[in-house]
Amino acid sequence: MAQLSGVNIEKLQGGLERQALGTDNHVAMVFSGMKTTTLHADVNNAGLGVKIRSVYDAEQLGFNESFDANESVNYYDQIVEFFRLAPEATLYLFSTDVVADITGFLNANKDIKGYATDFIGVETTNELEATDLGDHQAIIDALAVANRLIDFAVIGVSNVMPTIDLFTQECPIVSVATACEKNDGKASIGSVLGMIAVRKVSENLGSVDIERKPLNSRGGNDYPLTNGSLGRWIGSYLPDGTSVSAMAKSQLNAIIEKGYIVAASYEGYPGFFFENSYTAIEQTSDYAFIENNRVWNKASRIIRETLLPKVKSKVKKDPTTGFIASTTVSYWKTLLEKSLNRMLTEDDISGFEVSIDHKQVVNSTQPVKVKALIVADGIVHEFTVAVGLTNNI
């Protein structure tokens, strides 16, 4: 009906705190370039950070368009973008320019599975270096020693286009994103986080479609970054302002071949998509993609949670050999298989196998050896199709 509105009602999301089951989509956004203000202190929260479930929560803290404009940042914009792409996810915010502080923040929030942070370059005087990647990998490695697993750390680079070859690094949990929605040099870390959080752990960041779309996107054949009605991702740029669409394919390939996460379009197909989910390690590694780490970590968490209640428990022996009784081995295997079946039910893996050698002595403090093999889903990166003409078939 052609009538005037007068008052517009906006439907808020997250007030009832009904979130997706599990914590696979609990991720964090770490602002490294935030100025020391009251909002900075509130977000830092004495090193604990804050948890939000909607854009409204961020606005209650003090993030808005005016904040972005006054501080020359895109933090509010990227929070909005995160919830646009992953409306059922949970986002943690933290503010620090000291990388080591991230460790305490992650330790204080056990549900966080990964994070993205912004690297603010200044023309050519502040270049992303191997040590920047190594700092984040060191944090993740230190946490892993204490059985705190982090699936990914994405560094979003602003203002300068990095040149380091990521595939020569030894940082399998760290990725670098050079994708910018606008030609303002500001990294789109909210887009990267949102597209990770909306996917299952086994999905590639660059998949054209996703397995579980948000309610307002169901029915479509894909899930692009682009949303014309909202004016999002109408173009794609690099941190130095270069338009990806205007680049020669060889130029784009040169960036991809160094392991950077970029957003591009497919010839003859509408919308922009992330090209891939590389991590900073050689491509022959089992952990060369973000989804590899997410699957391995999820399986490891499940296994640890299943076996922990059995630590220091009694173990029945075979009275003839002194080894672990076969009934005990069968019981442990059944527990693990039941737990790992969750990943099959959630369509995260193709299969698994658990094996425990009963010929082990448990009279000492030596650990009982358990082996679990996870069959990860494959990812189709391209198709090669032979098409020809014929008179008949």
Q: How does pLDDT run across 66-107, given as a tens digit for each residue?
A: 999 999 999 999 999 999 999 999 999 999 988 889 999 999
Beta-sheet pairing, 114-120 with 50-52: unpaired
Name every residue whose Cβ is closer than 8 Å to that of residue 187 and which is 6 or more positions away in sequence: 118, 119, 156, 157, 158, 177, 178, 179, 180, 239
For 152, what's the count of Cα atoms within 13 Å in the CB-facing half-sphere?
Answer: 35
**The model's pTM:** 0.90
Are the C-beta atoms of 43 and 32 separated by less than 8 Å?
no
Q: Which residue has the tokens 């906006």?
A: 10
Residues in the chain: 393
For residue range 300-315, list pLDDT tens digits in order.
Answer: 999 999 999 999 999 9
Say whether 26 sits in a helix, a strand or coil. strand
Q: How far apart are CA 356 and CA 74, in angstroms?
A: 51
Backbone phi, then psi, for 356, in 5-degree steps?
-135, 120
Q: How far apart are CA 109 and CA 304, in angstroms?
A: 18
Q: How far apart are CA 208 and CA 379, in angstroms?
A: 12
Q: How far apart are CA 342 and CA 348, in angstroms?
A: 9
Exposed, middle or buried: residue 130 (CB in 10 Å: 0-12, 13-18, 19+)?
A: middle
User: How confident is the chain (393 residues) per 10-residue block, as mean pLDDT?
Assistant: 44 43 90 88 95 97 96 96 97 91 95 94 72 95 94 95 96 97 96 98 96 88 96 96 95 96 95 97 95 95 94 92 94 95 92 93 85 87 76 83
Q: Could you give the C-alpha distances from 199 to 38, 207, 211, 315, 377, in angstroms and in order? A: 34, 9, 7, 41, 14
Say whether 210 sits in a helix, a strand or coil. coil
Spatial CA neighbour of 215 closest among 228, 198, 191? 198
What angle is formed at CA 102 by the lines to CA 89 and CA 138, rounded to 5 degrees? 110
Backbone phi, then psi, for 343, in 5-degree steps?
-70, -30
Q: How far apart are CA 121 and CA 128, in angstroms?
A: 8
Residue 51 DSSP one-character state: E
Q: How far apart are CA 28 and CA 50, in angstroms?
A: 9
Give per-residue burial for 146-176: e unless 16+ CB within 10 Å, then b: eeebbbbbbbbbbbbbbebebbebebbbbbb
What angle is formed at CA 90 by the lines to CA 239 and CA 77, rounded to 5 degrees? 35
Backbone phi, then psi, for 352, in 5-degree steps?
-160, 165
Q: Could you give the C-alpha distances from 246 to 159, 243, 250, 276, 282, in angstroms and in order? A: 18, 5, 12, 20, 29
Are the C-beta atoms of 108 and 46 separated by less than 8 Å?
no
Are the C-beta atoms of 272 and 266 separated by less than 8 Å?
no
Q: How far apart are CA 49 and CA 35, in angstroms?
A: 16
Q: How far apart are CA 154 and CA 157, in angstroms?
A: 9
Are the C-beta atoms of 133 and 314 separated by less than 8 Å?
no
Residue 367 DSSP one-character state: P
Q: How far apart are CA 233 and CA 22, in angstroms?
A: 30
DSSP 343-388: HHHTT-EEEEEEE--S----SSSPPPP-EEEEEEPP----------
pLDDT of residue 302: 94
Q: How many CB atoms lie within 10 A of CB 117?
A: 22
